Amino acid sequence: MASSSASAALLSSLNLSSISPKSKLSQTLAFSSSPSLSFQSKSLRSSLSLRPSTSRRNGFVVRAGLPLVGNVAPDFEAEAVFDQEFINVKLSDYIGKKYVILFFYPLDFTFVCPTEITAFSDRHAEFDKINTEILGVSVDSVFSHLAWVQTDRKSGGLGDLNYPLISDVTKSISKAFNVLIEDQGIALRGLFIIDKEGVIQHSTINNLAIGRSVDETLRTLQALQFVQENPDEVCPAGWKPGEKSMKPDPKLSKEYFSAV
C-alpha cells in the first residue's frame, strides 16, 4: 500500500500536459536538408555522443551523426600533395566522371597509416582500370604530407604515391564525414565509396589501431558497380566479378540458392 501511495503521488506531481508532439525532444530532431547533412541542433549532437569508458585505455568521445550512406557526399575543396607538388582537389569535380575511394587516416609519420597508404598506391592501377580515383585525407598540413612522401619507405615514409594526399588542417572535412575524434583532433580510419553521381554507397570506420583491406575495398567497389549496371540483380556475401548474383525476389532468388 505504501508503494502504491508513493507511485500515485509521483504521477500526480508530473505535469503530463506539458508533454506534446512538439516538445523539446521532437524539436531536436530537425535536420538541415542540405547534402552535407549538418545538424541544426547542438542538443541532438550532445545526446548522441558516445561516452568513453573509464575501463578502456583509449577512451574518447565521438559525435555520431546521420548515416551518410545513400546521401550525396559533403563537397569540399582543399590543398593536397600529388607527384611532390601542391594541388587543389575538389570532390565534386569527380561527379559524372569517376567513382571515388575517399579514406581518412589519423596522422602522418605514424605506424599503421603508411601500410594502408602505400597498399592503396601499389594497387592504384586496379582502381584506375575501373574508373575510380583514390583520395587520402588527414589533418596534417601539405608540408607534412610532402615531407612524408619524400621519405623512403624503408625509413617509415611513403615514397611517391599514385594518388593525392589531402590536407584537412581545419578538420572541416573530417567533421563533415563524421570521423573526427573531437577531443584528440584526429580522424578515425573512415573509408567511403562514392559513385559517379556523388552519392556515398559504402562506408567503413575502423578504430585507430586497425588497418583496412585493399582487397575488400576493391571487391565492394566491384559489387557496387555491378548492381548499378544490373539494377535487377543483387550481390550475395563475398561476391566477386564472374560469380553468380541473385534476383531480389522470393521466387527468382531460389535459382541462386539451389545452385550454391
> Model confidence over 144-158: pLDDT tens digits?
999 999 999 999 999
Are the CB atoms for 151 and 192 separated by under 8 Å?
A: no
CA 148 to chain centroid: 24
The reported pLDDT for the residue numbered 19 is: 33
Task: Specify the length of the chain in residues.
Answer: 260
Q: Look at residue 12 and give its three-state secondary structure.
A: helix
113 labelled catalytic: yes
Q: Pick the residue with more confidence: 237 or 3?
A: 237
Share of the chain above pLDDT 90, in %: 72
**Adjacent-strand bridge partners of 199:** 72
Select which of 68, 80, 95, 113 is catalytic.
113
> Model confidence over 158-213: pLDDT tens digits?
999 999 999 999 999 999 999 999 999 999 999 999 999 999 999 999 999 999 99
Fold designation for 66-212: Glutaredoxin (3.40.30)
Q: What is the C-alpha to C-alpha distance for residues 46 and 50, in angstroms, rounded to an integer?
A: 9
Are the CB atoms for 76 and 173 separated by under 8 Å?
A: yes
